[in-house]
Amino acid sequence: MVLLGSTGSIGVNSLIVAKKLGIDVEVLVCGNNIALLNEQIKEHNPKVVVVANQDDVQKVDHPNVHYGQEAILDVIADAQSELVVNALVGFLGLRPTLKALECGKKIALANKESLVTAGAFIDTSKIQPIDSEHFGLWYLSQDRPINKMTITASGGAFRDWVIEDIHNATLEDTQKHPNWSMGQKITIDSATMVNKMFELLEARWLFGKGNYDAIIETKSLIHALIDYKDGSTTAHFAHASMQLPIAYALDQKFNGEVLEHVDLLEVGSLEFRKITPERYPVWEIKEDLLKNPELGVVVNAANEAAIEKFIAKEIGFMDISKNIIKAYEHFRVKPKTIEDVFALDKEVREFILLEK
């Protein structure tokens, strides 16, 4: 397989699962964590390695090292592997997804932004999502009329805060996720609930038009629920481990054991909460966005640009959502081509840079 984003959480777990399944790793692509990359090279012996920056090439313990975004596209095209695992973070993961599809490869997709920004131009039949929520929906889907698909959220770092206090939240505060440790950006997205809105958009592109929603389940043991038209509901329970969806993404016929079962007696009880715009202002545009999913590129670009400003202490935490909503209300023309997606992304980022 070709693994994009090998040193992140998804990448690390993908290598663990690949080793269990006996899948060879042809290409490793990573950003700046060269120390971990060198450990991965030693264990998995890839043929090609790509890093983000030219300055890091000499630090990599491998004879065939490339750098930069164009190199990622080149190794995808040149690789003999039919499977590409895209675990890159952010909009930069879109071009590799498009390249893999162009080359006729199967994609195990953890890069949310690919479908969020360009779902209208992506053949989802070639994609298996690496995401607990979408895996849960896929796992539960049966040949039976569906009324509603629901995914769950943890609630993020501020789910228990007094709402007035959230306005003064710092970057450090956003990283205190109640259930687990993730990367900086996705943890911020969890706190704003942008991450869950993105997952709803992904579900829309993966499963087609329908009724989609999200609720908070504080223990992160239920990942998805499906309401059937007959009045029954099924829920997907599993301990929070990305190795389960990764295993099925790498091999859909997988039938081995990955996790211990959830012991409901030990769990005792579950708590569900409604996602409200008062605590998560970006939720105001959720319904309209699901009706206009092509505008996901606007939300993503505004979010990435606003997060950069928040990290730089140019805006407050709640201003991230305000910036997203402003951009969403301003840019209403849907992209007609994939080129429009990239042009709109650039335009929205420039718009956010001028906002306060």
Asked if 27 and 144 sit in the same domain, the reply is no
Asked if 161 and 309 sit in the same domain, the reply is yes
State residue 259 phi and psi, 5-degree precision. Answer: -125, 160
Q: In the chain, where does DSSP find H-type helix? A: 9-21, 34-44, 69-78, 94-102, 112-118, 132-140, 163-166, 171-174, 184-192, 194-207, 243-250, 264-267, 286-291, 296-311, 318-330, 338-354
User: In this structure, what CATH number is given to the domain that contains residue 77?
Assistant: 3.40.50.720
pLDDT of residue 240: 86
Asked if 44 and 119 sit in the same domain, the reply is yes
DSSP state of 255: -
pLDDT of residue 229: 96
Nearest to 274 by CA among 213, 324, 199, 231: 213
Asked if 8 and 93 sit in the same domain, the reply is yes
- Judged against a pLDDT cut of 80, whether residue 356 lies above it is answered with no
pLDDT of residue 56: 96
Give CA–CA dist 2/324, Å, rounded: 34
Asked if 116 and 75 sit in the same domain, the reply is yes
Asked if 116 and 159 sit in the same domain, the reply is no
Structure tokens at 151: 């995914």
Identity at 122, one-letter amino acid code: I
Asked if 139 and 284 sit in the same domain, the reply is yes
Give CA–CA dist 85/108, Å, rounded: 5
User: Which residues constitute the domain of residue 269?
Assistant: 133-354
- Judged against a pLDDT cut of 80, whether residue 181 lies above it is answered with no
- Judged against a pLDDT cut of 80, whether residue 60 lies above it is answered with yes
List pLDDT tens digits, range 6-26: 999 899 999 999 999 999 999
Asked if 203 and 298 sit in the same domain, the reply is yes
Domain count, the chain: 2
- The β-bridge partners of 151 are 214, 224
Interval 275-292 mean pLDDT: 98
Asked if 180 and 64 sit in the same domain, the reply is no
Asked if 251 and 349 sit in the same domain, the reply is yes
Interval 324-353 mean pLDDT: 97
Asked if 59 and 142 sit in the same domain, the reply is no
- Judged against a pLDDT cut of 90, whether residue 251 lies above it is answered with no
Q: Are strands 272-273 and 106-109 parallel, antiparallel or unpaired?
A: unpaired
Asked if 122 and 220 sit in the same domain, the reply is no
